Amino acid sequence: MEHVRFSPSGVCAMQINFDIDGGKLYNVQFLGGCNGNLKAIGKLVEGKDAKEVAGILRGNTCGMKGTSCADQLAKAIDEYCG
């Protein structure tokens, strides 16, 4: 299992942490941001295929921002998985 730390940009969360094992996501945590919503994302993606999760979350926006914490998680996964 590998631990990933990602510094998102353009969102309220300051850091995204997750573990990846066999292409699956575990222990997704956001530091900062909308606490309840981001905890829910972590629960929803637990044990799911990382690339599938990235495909679902990619392009999601927050308000007038061109990105969101979910979109930044997709970017972190894309960066890790190549």
Backbone angles phi, psi at 12, to 5 degrees: -75, -35
Q: How confident is the model at residue 79 (pLDDT cuts 50, 70, 90)?
A: very high
pLDDT digits (tens, 9 = 90+) for 32-50: 999 999 999 999 999 999 9
Q: Where are the domains of the chain?
A: 2-81
Answer whether residue 82 shows pLDDT above 90: no
The pTM is what?
Answer: 0.96
pLDDT digits (tens, 9 = 90+) for 57-77: 999 999 999 999 999 999 999
- Burial class from Cβ neighbours inside 10 Å (0-12, 13-18, 19+) for residue 32 reads middle
Answer whether residue 9 shows pLDDT above 90: yes
